[in-house]
Amino acid sequence: MSKNDKPKPKPHYAPALQRGLHEVSHQVEAMHRAIAGKTFGALKQVPVVAQPAALIESIHDAVSTGIHAAVRLGNRGLLNLAGRAESALASDAPPGRRESGVRAAINGVFGDHVAANGEALATPMQFFERGKTAPVAIEHLKLRHHRVCIFLHGLACDEHCWTPDDESDQPDYGARVLADFGYTPLYLRYNTGLPIADNAAAFAEQMESLVAARPDIEEFLLIGHSMGGLVARSAFWQAAGAEWLTRVRMLICLGSPQLGSPLERLGMITNRVLDSFDVTAPIGAIARRRSAGIRDLHDGIGSDEGQDPPDIELRFLGATIAEDSDSTLGKLVGDGLVTPDSALAERTRANVARAQLGGLGHMAMLHDARVWQQIRTWIGEGYVPAA
């Protein structure tokens, strides 16, 4: 084995969980101290019990410190054992759908932290073919008509989210774009906990490498769900003038929070409230540990941050859980995570078309007959069949 062929470290959940539990334990201890401090502080203001209260407080602090230290020690020992067992069971085989989903969720919430720690658990950005567990070998990719459709998943998901269950009659968009239009589907997997701008830069590099390896690809269609649409659009802004951009025909965004998500804004407000009180500040510290990717959803990518390429067709699809998408409830709640004004980004200056559906939730947009019909309509407009 050469120096360049060193085996890659295997992802382990135990070390990441150990660090997380260690931090949570410290924050719980801080909250415990804050609550006890207020109680003992009040007692020490009473002359008769001031001295006994101070003595009891010192004993309490010593005991509670010991208890929390013992809990952390116990967690460390237990998770060290789990780590050794995990290493013993580790395999060189690619992770299956279930394990990949667990990693995607962890990366969505803490992806920037696991990446900063250099853990193998951090998800690298890679392309996959439909139903395959190993990354695609681009040079061997079979193309039907020199056209490729790339699917970009949303927060805390991976490429499997685009594939409906085998027993389901829901539409598989990847299979449909291949059958109806001859686009070979490729699925991007990436660490959704990283900043959107970082993922966009990495995606632009991946696209440039893809074009260099396969110059026979004549046209790209991009379909992004939620955060995936933001990553693609941000990549356009960062890669102005790049060769791969000249081959992108259209970007379809499904429920992408172009102008931000109200849930993350609520999260920021909640954080400020928690930080305002000694007792709840430790909870606020835990909440602030959510990933940069999640925090980026506070504002989305806005409408004035960059310039959308005028030759690329942008198609924004929004949804509301209310049957009447124009109702007050529909406008206020949207698809449960993204409101229509954000998904449709009315202020965007570009080659844009928009559509909105009622009675549809955020995740349901991944496998819905009406969504596919709208995608199909957009692709079909101006579509030139291969010779």
Share of the chain above pLDDT 70, in %: 66
The reported pLDDT for the residue numbered 17 is: 55
Confidence of residue 12 (pLDDT cuts 50, 70, 90): low
Mean pLDDT computed over 27-35:
50
Q: What is the dihedral of CA 54, 58, 60, 61, to 10 degrees?
A: 130
> Which residue has better confidence, 138 or 57?
138
Cα 115 to the chain's mean position, in Å?
A: 14
Residue linked to tokens 């230290």: 69
Confidence of residue 329 (pLDDT cuts 50, 70, 90): confident
Q: What does the alpha-carbon distance between residue 259 and residue 299 come to, in Å, rounded to a whole number?
A: 5
> Which residue has better confidence, 139 or 295?
139
User: Which pTM value belongs to this model?
Assistant: 0.76
CATH T-level topology, domain 126-264+290-380: Rossmann fold (3.40.50)
> Which residue has better confidence, 177 or 264?
177
Is it the case that residue 319 has pLDDT exceeding 70?
yes
Is it the case that residue 76 has pLDDT exceeding 70?
no
Is it the case that residue 59 has pLDDT exceeding 70?
no
Q: Show the tokens assigned to 134.
A: 């190993």
Q: Show the tokens assigned to 218.
A: 């004549």
